[in-house]
Amino acid sequence: MEKFFNEINKYVISILLFLGGFGFLAKYLSGDALESQPVSMLLASLALIAVGIVAMPVVLEKLNQTLYKVLLAVGALAAAGLAYSVFYSVDEEIRFQETQKRINATTIQRLKDIRAAQESHLAVYGTFAETFDSLIRFVQAPVVPVEFNMGSFHDTLPEAQSHEEGFVIKRDDIAAIAEEEGMTEKELFDLITSDLSPYKVRDTLYTSFYAENLAPEARAAQRLPQVSLDSLAFNPYTGERFVMKTGAVEVGRVWQPTILVQDPTPFGRDKVKKDTLRFGSLMEAHRDGNWRN
């Protein structure tokens, strides 16, 4: 038994090298068209197997000094080449990840803009726009209600009494009332704003989604990148039009509109499975995005 273990110990290094080599080889061969492994993994597996063979005592005994030195030199060069390949792969992967993060952030922002526009469309009309053309028409139309309030009610003139005495007015009434009071529109406007007038403005104005969210000044105020309506429907990196689908699902016996918008050409490596950036679902009434931030 002791002799058996002594013989086995001579092959321990070769066995470990074989296990590592065939393990890497199996991992490389397990890749498919969507999730392939790097060629450096194949080279590393073959190198480990080759070194394992050379390290076997039965092989070492047959090698002369010259051949041994040649194999040693070849092994050293191969090791140096693989080391460089590994370093290059790591460095290239870091740069790739940085590029992917930057490009995905731009795509995600565009998807967020589309989602915000569709949510506004839902709030106004109760449905989602079925096409990008209809969505863009909505974005430009002054149909988004905005509450316009000036002046506050107080104990000396509470809200109910203000309504009864006609002091609650619309925005368009200011000019006419200012003329009756013998002042300019701006003067009355400033008095109402400063709560120095009995008049209070309670009105609903209408603006466009573009003016509130996509106009250059609005984007600057929100510290977001500029976007044009012509490019809203397209991936900012590839120029491909986003895929948008709408539908409806029954939730608690009530039909709820659904929407799914996704990037048809996700960024990534060739022959590597990619995660498609998207938001919403046609099977559930939610508008969550599948990105992490």
Tell me which range, 31-45, 70-84, 149-163, 204-218, is most confidently predicted by mean pLDDT: 204-218
Q: Would the pTM of this model clear 0.75, i.e. be above it?
A: no
pLDDT at 245: 97
Q: Taking residues 181-209, what's their average pLDDT?
A: 90
- Residue 74: pLDDT band (50, 70, 90) is confident
Task: Answer with the residue of higher pLDDT: 182 or 12.
Answer: 182
- Residue 100: pLDDT band (50, 70, 90) is confident
Tell me which range, 37-41, 81-85, 198-202, is most confidently predicted by mean pLDDT: 198-202
Q: Taking residues 252-270, what's their average pLDDT?
A: 89
DSSP string, 86-132: HHHHHHHHHHHHHHHHHHHHHHHHHHHHHHHHHHHHHHHHSS--SSH
Q: Taking residues 134-163, what's their average pLDDT?
A: 88
Q: What percent of the chain has pLDDT over 70?
A: 73
- Residue 241: pLDDT band (50, 70, 90) is very high
Asked whether the predicted pLDDT for residue 282 surpasses 50, the reply is yes
Q: What are the pLDDT digits (tens) for 5-64? A: 556 666 676 677 677 667 767 766 775 544 455 666 666 677 767 777 766 766 666 666
pLDDT at 144: 93
d(CA 270, CA 107): 19
